[in-house]
């Protein structure tokens, strides 16, 4: 597996890289410099991570690179001093299923009653643990970008969020973020933008589900918590920026500042 990765000095083969760009137009739309940097970043990512396929799914070069390219997209402009992948440093394993999986869950309410239920999972990011993905959604990410959907970006943004200790919708912010003095002030600035957008989205989802209102463009799952809203909106930000700007203009400068989209790589 991954013969071309046996030696870290070897680059990703041209044909394999081009097939990946062809499969995912949102990657092909990157600038030449961004694509070149993403390619290098993918090589480092693949050298650090271990993939496991379930249900006899063979992790081919195509599968591994498809996941790596999408996972590295959120940290593409955060690679000062070659430390972008530190955002993903709390885990090694990536488990890939053929399709969505059903997980058995249980929760306890305030009265101490345990409720058991089943949940359909497209992916899952575990704190200080592996990332789970399903290949069907990963493979179809080029087509689903029209809906702002991308399971890889969703789960890896959760991993970024968890670097603050837990996924709460506010990842660790860089010093001086938006001119803030200290982490607490930066967090307040972040939430002052994200929370109203989440509240408006949640209201739209409720109106659509209960009163036959206009459904939101993005996955309604984003209305379940601020952490999920952050992950769902980041999917759209990276794979369908034009529609994202129309739907959620208030979040554009916030995410531009955090993901450093404005700090373009040299041509």
| Domain presence at residue 67 | yes
Residues 32, 159: Cα–Cα separation, whole Å: 27
pLDDT value at position 9?
Answer: 42
Strands (E), the chain: 50-53, 93-97, 101-108, 114-121, 123-125, 131-134
Count structural domains, the chain. Answer: 1
Q: How far apart are CA 243 and CA 54, in angstroms?
A: 35
Q: Is residue 156 part of a domain?
A: yes
- Residue 66 placed within a domain: yes
Q: Is residue 266 part of a domain?
A: no
pLDDT-flagged residues of the chain (< 50): 1, 6-9, 262-267
Residue 58 belongs to domain spanning: 3-259
pLDDT at position 255, please? 97
Four-residue CA torsion sign, 233, 234, 240, 246: positive
**What pLDDT, on a 0 to 100 scale, did the predictor assign at position 82?**
81
Q: What angle do CA 89, 94, 98 make, to 5 degrees?
A: 160
Separation between Cα atoms, residue 132 and residue 147, nearest integer Å: 22
- CATH number of the domain that residue 143 is part of: 1.10.472.150
> Would 197 be classed as within a structural domain?
yes
Summarised one tens digit per residue, pLDDT across range 201-231 is 999 999 999 998 889 999 999 999 999 999 9
What pLDDT was estimated at residue 99?
Answer: 87
Domain-embedded: residue 264: no
**Cα within 13 Å of Cα(28), Cβ side:** 11
Sequence-separated contacts (24+) of 185-194 with Cβ below 8 Å = 190/254, 193/250, 193/251, 193/254, 194/169, 194/170, 194/226, 194/229, 194/230, 194/251, 194/254
> Could you tell me if residue 36 is inside a domain?
yes
In a domain, 157, yes or no: yes
pTM of the model: 0.90
Q: Do residues 20 and 73 lie in contact, with contact meaning Cβ atoms separated by under 8 Å?
A: no
**Given the DSSP bridges, would you call strands 114-121 and 123-125 parallel, antiparallel or unpaired?**
unpaired
């Amino acid at each position: 597996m991954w013969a071309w990765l046996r030696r870290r000095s070897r680059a990703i083969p041209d044909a394999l890289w081009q097939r990946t760009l062809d499969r995912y137009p949102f990657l092909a739309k990157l600038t030449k410099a961004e694509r070149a940097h993403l390619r290098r970043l993918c090589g480092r990512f693949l050298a650090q991570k271990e993939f496991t396929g379930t249900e006899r799914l063979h992790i081919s070069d195509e599968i591994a690179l498809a996941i790596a390219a999408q996972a590295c997209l959120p940290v593409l402009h955060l690679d000062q001093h070659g430390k972008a992948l530190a955002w993903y440093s709390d885990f090694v394993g990536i488990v890939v299923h053929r399709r969505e999986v059903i997980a058995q869950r249980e929760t306890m309410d305030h009265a101490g009653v345990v409720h058991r239920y089943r949940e359909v999972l497209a992916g899952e990011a575990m704190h200080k643990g592996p990332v789970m993905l399903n290949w069907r959604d990963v493979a179809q990410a080029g087509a689903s970008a029209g809906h702002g959907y991308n399971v890889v970006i969703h789960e890896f943004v959760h991993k970024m969020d968890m670097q603050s200790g837990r996924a709460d919708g506010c990842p660790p912010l860089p010093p001086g973020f938006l001119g803030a003095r200290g982490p607490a002030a930066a967090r307040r600035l972040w939430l002052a933008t994200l929370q109203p957008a989440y509240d408006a989205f949640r209201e739209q989802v409720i109106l659509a589900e209960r009163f036959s209102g206009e459904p939101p463009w993005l996955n309604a799952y984003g209305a379940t918590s601020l952490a999920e809203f952050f992950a769902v909106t980041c999917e759209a930000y990276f794979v369908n920026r034009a529609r994202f700007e129309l739907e959620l203009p208030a979040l554009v400068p916030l995410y531009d500042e955090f993901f450093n989209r404005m700090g373009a790589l040299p041509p």
